[in-house]
Amino acid sequence: MASRTNFLLHAFVWLALAATAFSLSPKFYDKVCPQALPAIKKIVQAAVHREQRMGASLLRLHFHDCFVNGCDGSLLLDSTSAFESEKNARGNLNSVRGFEVVDQIKAEVDKVCGRPVVSCADILAVAARDSVVALGGPSWKVLLGRRDSTTASRSLADSVLPSASMDLPALINNFKNQGLNQRDLVALSGGHTIGLSQCAIFRNRIYNATNIDPAFAKERRATCPRTGGNTNLAPLDPTPARFDTAYFKNLVKQRGLLTSDQALFNGGSTDKLVKTYSMNAEAFWDDFAKSMIKMGNIKPLTGKKGQIRVNCRKVN
């Protein structure tokens, strides 16, 4: 009897693991709508061609979606009488962008599929990958089959999104709370190899930090005054439209734009990995792809949970 119980227990554990592993699959839309992924790629490529900054914006949407109650498209929902939009959270307000591109993708995908079969959460995951590829970065197989949430939480977004002012222990803890380790933290922070940041976010660092190259600080102060110019933009690394290792090379030279960037190379436990990535693009690309898949697997809604939204901005 004991062995039978043992067998059943093992079988149950295996089935539970299998259910988790098989709930998301890169082939999820292969039969129901094989045109879906090419349609997403086409629109992302056009959007990034129009405005290179859009690649970083779309990557960031997926990241900021996944960190708030999992990758469920909750970030895309506008405020209603039932909840306030995550777009209004501290780490998102007047900062996250690219929603019009997501709307455009959704309309096109629903058109080619003949009905709404692709979730907004999956659109974010695929658009993030396609954006990285469009800017010369690595590709990976995006696991698919996420469904969309029917609610959002500004207060949760306020408490869980990492801040640009965090030090290394805070960053490690923030990522650990999402099931992500230090390697994931450094690799995913490498997403800052593309894109721009606003003066208000990095002002304190360029005027007050001691772990900053003085020439770099002076250069940044030219377009980011002590007062005013809050929305003035500066590149996160010298090649903001190319997915390369310049971000990590900059950190080694104490030229990280954000406090949370330089924290990764400041005499702490992540220094060695930053140095590795700065010299080895292949190592960075491999780890970035693995960490993106891992992040994309944070608490997805699958099966009958959630819904497939008709409009990414509102619940059906």
The verdict on whether residue 70 carries a ligand-binding annotation is yes
The verdict on whether residue 151 carries a ligand-binding annotation is no
| Cα dihedral: 116, 117, 121, 123 (round 10) | -80
Report the candidate in 228, 221, 227 with the shortest Cα–Cα distance to residue 207: 221
The verdict on whether residue 223 carries a ligand-binding annotation is no
Of 10, 49, 62, 64, the active-site residue reads: 64
Tokens of 239: 């090649």
The verdict on whether residue 133 carries a ligand-binding annotation is no
Number of Cβ within 10 Å of residue 94's Cβ equals 11
The verdict on whether residue 122 carries a ligand-binding annotation is no
Cα end-to-end span (Å), the chain: 50
Phi-psi region of 254 (alpha: psi -120 to 50; beta: other; left: phi over 0): left
Radius of gyration of the chain (CA): 20
The verdict on whether residue 84 carries a ligand-binding annotation is no
Say whether 49 is catalytic. Answer: no
Q: Are 116 and 310 in contact (CB under 8 A)?
A: yes
The verdict on whether residue 148 carries a ligand-binding annotation is no
Give residues with Cβ within 8 angstroms of 54, minimum separation 6. 47, 48, 98, 101, 131
The verdict on whether residue 193 carries a ligand-binding annotation is yes
Give how far the C-alpha of residue 315 lies from the chain's centroid of Cα atoms, to the nearest Å: 22
Tokens of 119: 């979730």
CA 124, CA 112: separation in Å to the nearest integer?
Answer: 18
The verdict on whether residue 55 carries a ligand-binding annotation is no
Report the candidate in 35, 36, 59 with the shortest Cα–Cα distance to residue 47: 59
Q: Are 101 and 58 in contact (CB under 8 A)?
A: yes
Element (H or E) spanning 235, and its range? Answer: strand 233-235
Query: Which active-site residues does the annotation give?
Result: 64
Extract the annotated binding site for heme b.
192
Annotated binding site for Ca(2+): 65, 68, 70, 72, 74, 86, 193, 237, 244
Query: Which residues are annotated binding-site positions?
Result: 65, 68, 70, 72, 74, 86, 162, 192-193, 237, 244
